[in-house]
Amino acid sequence: MRARAHALQAEVAARAGSERHARTALSLAWYDLDRNVEGDPAPTSFSSDHLRGFDGLCELYAGDAAVAHDFFADSVAALSAPRERVQRTIVSTDQALACIRLDAPEQAADLLHNCIDSAVSTGGRVPALRLRQAREELRPWRREDFVADLDDHLVELLGS
């Protein structure tokens, strides 16, 4: 539980642009994760695979988008259990944001198509919020066919 709390603290700091605070909180999260989990009521609910996504998030907001992309890809590949689907969708959407910042909007749109399907089927609130943010960051390409296809996909699923 402490690892998750430190990871969330790192996310907040990174989103605020405080790289040093974010890296410190991430270090504490990794330390807590590596410690003995005796007494943790849910020792498997937050793993290193989850924390890699937070590493990526901190890089995305307070570091290097290319490094963030790699962290996200590793996390998505490792989060394979059915009950990790919401987290996998969150991380995939963050990976799409990294693609946008790396000037690869078509790759981002491809990732977002899968995220849309998953967010709709799981009903996750956080993935939906992240999808909204990613779509907003695609605005410079709003006249491109790949963005129109993404919008069509969103409207189609929201209407059903």
Among 11, 128, 137, which Cα is nearest to 71's? 11
> What whole-number distance in Å separates Cα of residue 30 and Cα of residue 144?
41
Q: Which of 82, 79, 86 is nearest to 125 (CA)?
A: 86
pLDDT of residue 28: 96
Measured CA to CA, the distance from residue 36 to residue 48 in angstroms comes to 14
What pLDDT does 158 receive? 72
DSSP 144: S
Quick: pLDDT tens for 113-142: 999 999 888 888 899 999 999 999 999 999
pLDDT digits (tens, 9 = 90+) for 15-70: 999 999 999 999 999 999 888 666 666 666 788 999 999 999 999 999 999 999 99
Q: Are 140 and 131 in contact (CB under 8 A)?
A: no
Q: How many CB atoms lie within 10 A of CB 38?
A: 6
- Read off the DSSP letter of residue 45: S
pLDDT at residue number 45: 78
CB neighbour list of residue 21: distance below 8 Å, 6 or more residues apart: 10, 13
Q: What is the pLDDT of residues 64-90, one digit of tens each?
A: 999 999 999 999 999 998 889 999 999
Query: What CA–CA distance (Å, rounded) separates 32 from 24?
Result: 12
Q: What's the pTM?
A: 0.91
Q: Which residues contact 6 (CB under 8 A, 6 or more apart)?
A: 25, 26, 28, 29, 32
Instruction: Decide if 147 contacts 138 (C-beta within 8 A).
Output: yes
